[in-house]
């Protein structure tokens, strides 16, 4: 049996299990994300190449309650991270440092989440490093595009702080 994840809308195993504290997901989706991360943690080159994208894409697709400060902040900072990578051509390490700075400031309210996504964590092929990298890049790019309403907010935030 399978169920629909309330965050990303993907279909995952219908299981009992843990979920994130403030990101909205199904246990099956959270488990699939854990498997993707486990694969990344076992290969330093893979981790360095795409882990930042995996974390940002998952966080954006599982935004949580609009009224939860942590959930709101998570969406904004993970979008800004992808903005820095995709629009500003910054390295992943730079985006990670920016994320840490952004987590310490007051951020504006995020818009409502997109209704659907072209890619979800269940679409990531972890059978080999090359396919894993390619899938994560497509997943992150599609997720970034789905949240394009956040671009003006990202630009405003970045113009107001020094990274």
The C-alpha R_g of the chain, in whole angstroms, comes to: 15
Q: What is the pLDDT of residues 132-146, one digit of tens each?
A: 999 999 999 999 999
Residue 126, Ramachandran bin (φ over 0: left; ψ between -120 and 50: alpha; else beta):
alpha
pLDDT of residue 161: 84
Contact 85, 53 (CB under 8 A): yes
> Secondary structure of 50-111 in the HEC alphabet?
HHHHHHHHHHHHCCCCCCCHHHHHHHHHHHHHHHHHHCCCCCHHHHHHHHHHHCCCCCCCCC
Mean per-residue pLDDT of the chain: 96
Q: What is the pLDDT of residues 77-119, one digit of tens each?
A: 999 999 999 999 999 999 999 999 999 999 999 999 999 999 9
pLDDT-derived band at 120 (thresholds 50, 70, 90) equals: very high
pTM: 0.96
Q: What is the pLDDT of residues 121-130, one digit of tens each?
A: 999 999 999 9
């Amino acid at each position: 049996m399978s169920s629909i994840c309330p965050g990303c809308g993907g279909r995952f195993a219908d299981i009992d299990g843990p979920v994130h504290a403030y990101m909205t997901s199904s246990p099956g989706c959270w488990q699939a994300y854990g498997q993707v991360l486990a694969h990344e943690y076992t290969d330093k080159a893979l981790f360095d190449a795409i882990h930042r994208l995996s974390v940002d894409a998952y966080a954006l697709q599982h935004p949580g309650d609009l009224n939860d400060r942590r959930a709101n902040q998570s969406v904004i900072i993970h979008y800004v991270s992808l903005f820095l990578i995709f629009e500003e051509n910054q390295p992943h390490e730079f985006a990670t440092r920016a994320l840490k700075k952004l987590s310490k400031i007051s951020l504006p309210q995020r818009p409502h989440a997109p209704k659907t996504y072209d890619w979800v964590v269940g679409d990531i092929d972890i059978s080999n490093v090359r396919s894993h990298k390619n899938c994560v890049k497509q997943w992150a790019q599609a997720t970034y595009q789905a949240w394009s309403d956040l671009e003006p907010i990202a630009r405003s935030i970045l113009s107001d702080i020094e990274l």
